[in-house]
Structure 1
């Protein structure tokens, strides 16, 4: 291949390095009103009265809005496919506040100083209610977090607001109880994963204005511009055609921007005043009032025969969605759908559980999206079972894990919020990932432990993982290619580059089809007026879904060029080909330069603009696979765990851009390591977030994560663009289980609750 598999820099790299104005705050109207939010000091309360009169009289204040000034339309903030699997339980402003940081009032003024003063002058009287802060006690609690009659689900899958249940789900294949009776060894264990903050360096930012046609324009740091447009249309009851959403560069998202956050507040101000407005969240607001990862609890029961045949998997979960149900059902289901198929030879499997409301920061999409929580529980339990069977955990996995050409009934039964699709795994080099990882970590020599000194021991552990490539039969991407009169091309895509390099990847795919340099593909992405529809950047979809759309559009463009070139040369189309520079006679000497053809087309002969478009919806979601290996050193006097080496061997199909693929895996690994060893969202007894800044909330630095080795195995996915599968999320999944397994192998202590930050006392 000519352009695909090239290690070329990201298209936006130079501009970002030079500090060009490319982010939402850079591009906001210079005369925009400053918008800030008065937020609740209580975890759960009802507003008895709110007096804004003093605030409104302050010079420079344009408007103060409360729940009385805005339409009472329940929506979900979750940027997911329509109809949304998340319940409609959020209002732009409401008389109830459901967590510390929930929105009470919107204030807009000429500068920050006057807005801050106005916020201090708003007088609110609250009826303080008993908060629900323990998700294990949420179901049936005397406090009902969503008592309002307007809240409703789009899908009736276990929604029960009166009992604080946002969703529930259960499925079973085979007879778990009967098959357990046939097992020689059974283990049952409970695991906990914590909330995790996204910590994207660009805070959530949005701006708005009314254009010359009277339409509402939103500029937003969002992963899902088309979903933002649709949700705002619903929230304000205005037509979609009257809203435009523009996504500039994004300084990190990781799922935290797969929703609306500040957009409704600036929109409300602009619709009220007719003036431009902008909101830039403080770091405290990002922590307290956007999203975290869903904390989860899993009870895992595994059963096997004494020869190492895994017969039964039973996963029962409980998930904490916080104050609102965004991504509640889908994240929970992914915890099963992206883990259970790895062990496809069982005789019975069951997945069940509930997602409950609490009066904490809302949980939402986060890279790994449930799979990391389920993987920690299942892959830790697999090691426990292997030890009871007196088997090497790798040999146990190799005996039971999925292989190329196989399937799992889970694929059809469990999708994201609904039924999945039947699927054969056409590309799976998981076994090769495991073998290569064993060599790179030197497993046979290091397993299970080595004594370094009287107080320090080293151990190795591992885990396997799978993800998906988009959401089959649901999410769609599309692309438009336009030939310019100098022979270059404009690629218009709705796909959202949130720092992943997808603009570059998609340009490479188009360039490969057209056989032109990637530099000749000029990309414009994510503007709901100017680019075609795309669901946005989530579910590891862009390379696979949007990439297939780009490939189809480029193939159509190539056919158009050949047709017009043949007309110019006076030849039949079947006798003509295109090599990226010339349209030429296959068995002759006639040819015309692409630039010359474009000039003729646009200025003199047979004049027409060549435009090709295409769309793609995946009929399946080919999983990428990974084997992760951790080597840790544990000091039994202090309890300090030091990560020495982490090896990740990945099957993501053909790497369109190997450098960008490697960086994606490395970034995911660091976030997974952070979740395992460092990051913890902590609350006070009254429900106030304590880790609401970067002094209290610790993320790992480069010095904390040891040596990282990433390697890709050769694989080819026949349904993917040039053999590619996704790579964005797979890296995050294995660190929790692999590190926990390594710690156990080092010192014999099994950690079942994340993060692993406790002190291990010396005996």
Structure 2
């Protein structure tokens, strides 16, 4: 391969480094009205009266909108496959406010000064209700968070608003209770994972205007432009054809932009006034009024025989979706679907639980999407079971984990919000990942611990993980290639580059098929009017789903070039080939350059534009695999944990661009380390978010994360483009469990709730 597997810099890297105007706020019309939101100071209340008269008199104010001024249509903001598994429980504006930060009124004015002044002049009378702040007490709480009759599920998912249940799910293979009786060793443990903020450097931003044809145009920092178009059309009862959504460069998303946030707010202003409008969330608003990761609780029961065979896995979960049910069921199901198949040789397995509403900021999509929560619980419990069996935890995993050529019944039973797809794992180098990780961390010499001083101990721990590559039979990507008159190509894709470099990777795939240079593939992405449909950047889908679409389109283009070239050479199509520059006779001297062919086609002979298109829906979702290894140093006097080394060894198939794959894994690992040791979303007793700025919400800096080593073990996935699988999420999954296991091995302290803080280490230290 010439272009695939090359370490090509991102196509947009130079422009970004030079500070070119490429982000949503850069592209907003200069005359756009400034939009801000009056937000609820209460966790749960009903608006009894709202007086905007004083605010409306302020010079420069163009409009103030309340729930009385916008359509009352229940929607879900979740940008995921249609029909959406998430309940329709959100309104553009509502008389109920369900968390501190919920929208009360939309204010638009000519500048920030007048809008800020107007925010202070709006008078609101609330009837305050008792909020539901503890997700373990949410079910059957006296306060019903969604009492409105319009709120409804898209289809039956165990939704019961009267009990504050957004979703529930249960499946069982075999008989868990009967098989547990046959086990020699059984462990039962409870684990908690916390909310986590995305902290993308670019805040949520959107702008809107009416074009010359009277259509609503939205420019948005979004991961899902086509879903945004569909949801906005539903919310305002506007035909989809009258809406265009454009996604420019994005300064990070991580799942936080896999939904609508500011888009309906600016759209409401533009539709009311006819004028351009823009909203740029403050950092406080990003924390308080967008998404966080769903906090979850898991009760894990594992059973095994004395010879180390894992016989039973039982996972019972409870998830906190916050005030709205976006991604409620899907995130919860993925916690099982992307962990349970790791151990496919059990006699019985059960996964069950509920997702409940609370009066906190909504939970939503976040890199790892439930898998990281389930992985922390299961991989911590696996270590505990191995210890009870007196087995090395790695040997226990090797004995029980999935291998190439095998399958799991979980694949078919559990999808994302619906049934999954039966499949055989065609590419899995998990065993090789473990072996390489053991060498890099020097496991045999360091496991389980090493005493450094009277108060400091070092330990190593590990965890394994899997993800997916898109959502089988649901996610679709499409691509269009057109030949230009200089022999270059335009590649149009609906796929959304979040900063991951997907534009570059997709260009590499096209270039490889066409035997040309990546530089000759000009990519245009994510414009709902111009580019073909794509579900968006989520579920680790872009390289696999959109990449396959690009590969198919490029193969069609190659055939078109051969067909037209053979005509110009007066040869049978079977007798010509194409090397990227020339269409040439296989066994002769005739040839024509692609550039000359394009010129003839465009300007002189049998004129035509060569265009090729293709779509792809995965019939499978081949998992990437990872083995993560952590080495920590723990001070038993202070409880401080220092992460010295983190090793991530990954099987993501063939790496289309090794450099971009590497930084994806590194970024995921760092976010996983943040969840393991540092990050915690904290609320006051009244439901006010305390960690609403970067002074109080701590993400790890470079000095906090020690040495990170990433290595790839190459496999070949026959269903992927040039053997590739996904890489975007797998890096985040292993750090919480691997670090928790390392801490236990170092000092004998088992922490079952994240984040692992010095206080928790000291409190649970048996030597303290």
Kindly state the Cα deviation for residue 412 of structure 1 after the two structures are TM-superposed: 0.1
- Report deviation, 1:157: 1.2
1:650 corresponds to which residue?
650
Partner in structure 2 of residue 572 of structure 1:
572
C-alpha deviation, 1:724, in angstroms: 0.1
Structure 2 residue aligned with 1:349: 349
The equivalent of 1:165 in structure 2 is 165
SS across alignment from 2:492:
strand
Aligned equivalents of 1:197 and 1:475: distance in 2? Answer: 26
- Tell whether the 8 Å contact from 2:638 to 2:758 is kept in structure 1 after alignment: no
Q: CA deviation at 1:314?
A: 0.2
**1:478 is aligned to 2:494:** no
Q: Which residue of 2 aligns with 1:503?
A: 503
- Please give the alpha-carbon distance, in whole angstroms, between the structure 1 residues aligned to 2:543 and 2:562: 27
Distance apart, 1:84 and its partner CA: 0.3
Counterpart for residue 116 of structure 1: 116
Q: CA deviation at 1:714?
A: 1.7
Equivalent residue, structure 2, for 1:317: 317
User: Could you say which residue in structure 2 is the equivalent of 1:494?
Assistant: 494
Query: Where does residue 263 of structure 2 map in the other structure?
Result: 263
Q: How many residues align?
A: 763
Corresponding residue for residue 297 of structure 2: 297
Give the match for residue 441 of structure 1. Answer: 441
Q: Is the 8 A contact 2:506 2:550 kept in 1?
A: yes
Number of the residue aligned with 1:237:
237
Residue in 1 that maps onto 2:514:
514
Residue 754 of structure 2 is matched in structure 1 by: 754
What is the distance in 1 between the residues matched to 2:714 and 2:543?
A: 17
Instruction: With the length of structure 1 as denominator, give the TM-score of the two structures.
Output: 1.00
1:98 equivalent in alignment to 2:98: yes
2:550: which partner in 1?
Answer: 550
The aligned residue for residue 537 of structure 1 is 537
Counterpart in the other structure of 2:80: 80
Q: What does 1:658-669 align with in structure 2 at a 5 Å threshold?
A: 658-669=658-669
- SS of 1:69's partner is coil
1:257-406 matches, within 5 Å, as 257-406=257-406
Partner Cα separation in structure 2 for residue 581 and residue 602 of structure 1 = 17
Separation of aligned partners in 1, 2:434 and 2:758? 30
The residue aligned with 1:697 is 697
1:155, distance to aligned residue in structure 2 (A): 1.8
Map Cα deviations across residues 738-761 of structure 1 (whole Å, 9 max, x no partner).
000000000001000000013244
Matches within 5 A, 1:163-202: 163-202=163-202
Aligned mates of 2:473, 2:536 — CA distance in 1:
15
Separation in 2, partners of 1:347, 1:30: 64
Give the aligned partner of residue 30 of structure 2: 30
Gaps of 5+ in 2: none
Distance 1:244 1:328 in 2: 28
Q: CA deviation at 1:279?
A: 0.1
Helix, strand or coil for the counterpart of 2:674?
Answer: helix
Please state how far the C-alpha of 1:347 moved relative to its aligned partner: 0.3
Deviations 1:551-598 (A, max 9, x none): 000000000000000000001111111110000111111000000000
Alpha-carbon distance between aligned partners in 2 of 1:471 and 1:737, rounded to the nearest angstrom: 25
Give 1:409-488 correspondences, 5 Å limit.
409-488=409-488
1:68 aligns with 2:32: no
SS of match in other structure, 2:232? helix
Q: Does 1:620 align with 2:597?
A: no
Give me the whole-angstrom Cα distance separating, in 2, the residues matched to 1:698 and 1:569: 66
Give RMSD over aligned pairs: 0.4
Whole-angstrom distance in 1 between the partners of 2:531 and 2:470: 20
C-alpha contact 2:641 2:758 (8 A) present in aligned 1: no
Q: Which position in structure 1 is the counterpart of 2:688?
A: 688
1:492 Cα deviation from its structure 2 partner: 0.3
Query: Does the residue aligned with 2:684 lie in a helix, a strand or coil?
Result: coil
Equivalent-residue separation in structure 1 for 2:223 and 2:294 (angstroms): 19
Partner-residue secondary structure (3-state), 1:11: coil
What is the CA distance between 1:192 and its match in structure 2?
A: 0.1
2:141 matched residue in structure 1: 141
After superposition, what is the alpha-carbon deviation per residue over 1:584-629, rounded to whole angstroms, capped at 9, x for unaligned? 1111110000000000000000100000000000000000000000
Match of 2:629 in 1: 629
Aligned to 1:21: 21
* Alpha-carbon distance, 1:194 to partner: 0.0
Question: The residue matched to 1:100 in structure 2 has which SS?
Answer: coil
Task: Tell me how far apart the structure 2 counterparts of residues 157 and 134 of structure 1 sit (CA, whole Å).
Answer: 22
Confirm whether residue 223 of structure 1 aligns to residue 223 of structure 2.
yes
Tell me the secondary structure at the aligned position of residue 49 of structure 1.
strand
The separation in 2 between residues aligned to 1:422 and 1:702, in whole angstroms, is 42
* CA distance in 2: counterparts of 1:575 and 1:473, whole angstroms: 39
Q: Deviations over 1:379-404 (max 9, x none)?
A: 00000000000000000000000000
- 2:602 aligned partner: 602
1:50-99 residue CA offsets vs partner (Å, 9 max, x unmatched) = 00011111110000000000000000000001000000000000000000
Q: Secondary structure at the match of 1:552?
A: helix
Residues 672-693 of structure 1 deviation map (CA, whole Å, 9 limit, x = unaligned): 0000000000000000000000
Residue equivalent to 1:711: 711
CA distance in 2, matches of 1:326, 1:10: 32
SS in 1 for 2:507: helix
- 1:531 Cα deviation after fit: 0.2
Q: What does the per-residue CA deviation read over 1:698-756, in whole Å, with 9 as the maximum and x for residues that have no partner?
A: 00001100000000002100000000000000000000000000000000010000000
Instruction: Establish whether residue 582 from structure 1 lines up as the match of residue 582 from structure 2.
Output: yes
